[in-house]
Amino acid sequence: MKRKITLLVGLGLLTAAVGFSQTPNPGQAPNPNAPQAQAPAPGQGAPRGAAPAAAEKTFEGRLTKVDAATKTITVAAISPKDGDPKDMSFKYGDTTVVVGGDKTVQGLATKTGSTLKVTYSGDMASRIEISDAK
């Protein structure tokens, strides 16, 4: 009986030591060999309790102004609904993807009046699709 109790206490201490050795101390860099949480596969959604990433929205309208100095474009809604903005301004940067036209943000200056579909988060455009039809 004494041997069983000693064995159980020893196993309990061993389990506790292994468990505590795998939790990082505050300020300690994470272990690169530790298994990482994986993003859900497309169509599976985020795990419960996970905060959603900043949702991207889209806005469609006609390009009315390009300000290269502030890296901003202004787009007027084609047919705004009640409560929707009539004009929106978006910032663009090096990571903004341009589809259509000459595929550069600088090329937008010659596309005033063109129909755009802007994918954005906050006021930053992540994707600008240019329709060739005016």
Judged against a pLDDT cut of 80, whether residue 62 lies above it is answered with: yes
Give dist(CA 81, CA 65) in Å, integer.
Answer: 22
Quick check: helix, strand or coil at residue 75? strand
> What are the C-alpha distances in Å from 8 to residues 3, 21, 63?
9, 20, 74
Give dist(CA 77, CA 75) in Å, integer.
Answer: 7
Span 7-12, mean pLDDT? Answer: 76
Give dist(CA 107, CA 63) in Å, integer.
Answer: 12
Q: Please give the domain boundaries of the chain with CATH numbers for all domains.
A: 57-131 (2.40.50.320)
> Residue 37: what pLDDT?
56
Write out pLDDT tens, residues 15-40: 766 666 665 566 666 666 655 555 55
> Residue 92: what pLDDT?
92
Q: How confident is the model at residue 80 (pLDDT cuts 50, 70, 90)?
A: confident
CA–CA–CA angle 73, 77, 80 (5° rounding) = 150
C-alpha dihedral (24, 39, 118, 81), degrees to nearest 10:
-100
Judged against a pLDDT cut of 90, whether residue 125 lies above it is answered with: yes
Judged against a pLDDT cut of 90, whether residue 89 lies above it is answered with: yes
